[in-house]
Structure 1
Amino acid sequence: MADFKRSDVEIDEDRAAWRGFFQVREYRLRHRLYKGGWGRWLSRELFVRGPAVGVLPYDPVLDCILQVEQFRVGAMNRSASPWIAELVAGIIDKPDESPEDVARREALEEAGIDIQEMEAIAEYYSSPGGSDEYFYLYCGRANLATAGGFFGLAEEGEDICAKVMSFTDAMAMLDAGQVSSAHNLIALQWLRLNRDALRQRWLA
């Protein structure tokens, strides 16, 4: 495959098409082609989200995970219910915050729990065809013995239900096709593959 780089894209115009809770930018651009030369000028919109982080809280002692459930506008017209079970997650919007810092802050805000050790699962673009979101995914050790309840920041319109479930129930939910969030799907599949080794390390 061709070794294309950022310099193989030319931008003729870059403007803000929308500014609200999120931002959309509109570009007029062209890029080099596999067969050689340059393609035609294209108009493309970019949904600007930036970097984000998600963490799957896991208690190796109880062999349980925690999920947060909240209303999601993106699922409003497709799902039977737009209340989606997800990971603890948040946007990295401060230059001095690391992904791990944000994961721990969000775990406290969304579920009232402290994340201890963290295991990196993956880094990836969530939907690069139209969004610049780059996602950092973790599994975090947590004490879930008394976890669960209702959380979220009222000033941000958050209304979050944190739920603890056994590893067995989580895997049954996965196998039944009841996990509809991609980040959650990746994290739970990772936990299925790495649970035994993770428990050995965290319980040593």
Structure 2
Amino acid sequence: MKFKIIAKNRSWDGYCKIDVYQLQHDRFDGCQSPVLQREVLERGHAVAVLPYDPVRDEVVMIEQFRPGAIPVNDNDPKMPVWLTEIVAGIIEDGETAEAVARRETFEEAGCELIGSPELISHYYVTPGCSTETVHLFYGQVDTTNVGGLHGVAEEGEDIRVFTVSAEECFAMLQNGQLCNAMTTIAVQWLMLNRDRLRQNSEA
């Protein structure tokens, strides 16, 4: 299966960038598609971290305002605009995904990763309209003194940091409080791997 880019133009070059493609691709029936126009959001690639203390069995969560969650009209679902999430940030030029995991965990949650983070998944966020991918990690932390307000002021970040027990975190997922993909994936992964992480911390 092949595709062909006929033209590509940048229509917006701000905080987010939008590229407009004219393209064709092979179809499953053996024919060629017509020339299609598709707008693609380009905002770089991201790293997300599930900070978890396997000794205290606590998860570090953050809460912050998200403009993409603002309802556009009355038909939009009634969902929060301040979202409960895990740590995340964009990979800058020259950075590795692991370096971003360490930087963002400190900037957004005020704690440091212990040892090397473990990769949970590397996935596309919404490939129908964006190039963005996420490296999703588990990072071991010590939650003894974690909490308060964090974030980089120059980036407009205003982040509330708090901890919950693993059981409380699972309940938040099941009752719909966690309504973004990276947090959902991370917490489901923790459900499957919690016992292993706790056993390893005792070794």
TM-score range for the pair, normalised by the shorter chain length: over 0.9
Match in the other structure for 1:92: 91
* Match status 1:195 vs 2:194: yes
Quick one: distance in 2 between partners of 1:203 and 1:126? Answer: 35
Match in the other structure for 1:28: 22
Match in the other structure for 1:104: 102
Match in the other structure for 1:145: 144
Q: Which amino acid in 2 is paired with 1:125?
A: Y
Match in the other structure for 2:171: 172
Asked whether the 8 Å contact 2:84–2:177 carries over to 1, the reply is no
- Counterpart selection for 2:48 from 54, 57, 67: 54
* Match status 1:155 vs 2:149: no
State the 1:79 CA deviation: 4.0
| Higher mean C-alpha displacement, 180-189 vs 69-78 | 69-78
Q: Which amino acid in 2 is paired with 1:115?
A: L
State the 1:202 CA deviation: 2.8
Match in the other structure for 2:74: none
**Deviations, residues 81-124 of structure 1 (Å, cap 9, x unaligned):** 30001110001122x21111101100111011001231111111
Q: Where does the alignment leave 5 or more consecutive residues of structure 1 unmatched? A: none
Quick one: distance in 2 between partners of 1:21 and 1:65? Answer: 31
**Deviations, residues 148-168 of structure 1 (Å, cap 9, x unaligned):** 110111111110011111111
1:76-87 equivalence runs, <5 A: 76-77=70-71, 78-87=77-86
Structure 1 residue matching 2:114: 3-state secondary structure: coil
TM-score (norm 2): 0.94
* Match status 1:67 vs 2:66: no
Quick one: distance in 2 between partners of 1:88 and 1:112? Answer: 11
Quick one: distance in 1 between partners of 2:170 and 2:79? Answer: 22
Quick one: distance in 2 between partners of 1:102 and 1:79? Answer: 33
**Deviations, residues 18-48 of structure 1 (Å, cap 9, x unaligned):** 1111100000001011111311000000000
Quick one: distance in 2 between partners of 1:102 and 1:87? Answer: 14
Quick one: distance in 2 between partners of 1:51 and 1:80? Answer: 25
* Regions of 4+ moved over 4 Å: none
Percent of matched pairs sharing the same residue: 44
* Match status 1:18 vs 2:17: no
Q: Which amino acid in 2 is paired with 1:22?
A: C
State the 1:49 CA deviation: 1.9
Q: How many residues are paired up?
A: 197
Q: Which amino acid in 2 is paired with 1:149?
A: G
**Deviations, residues 135-188 of structure 1 (Å, cap 9, x unaligned):** 111110000110011011111111001111111111111121221011000000
TM-score (norm 1): 0.93
Structure 2 residue matching 1:108: 3-state secondary structure: helix
Asked whether the 8 Å contact 2:54–2:198 carries over to 1, the reply is yes
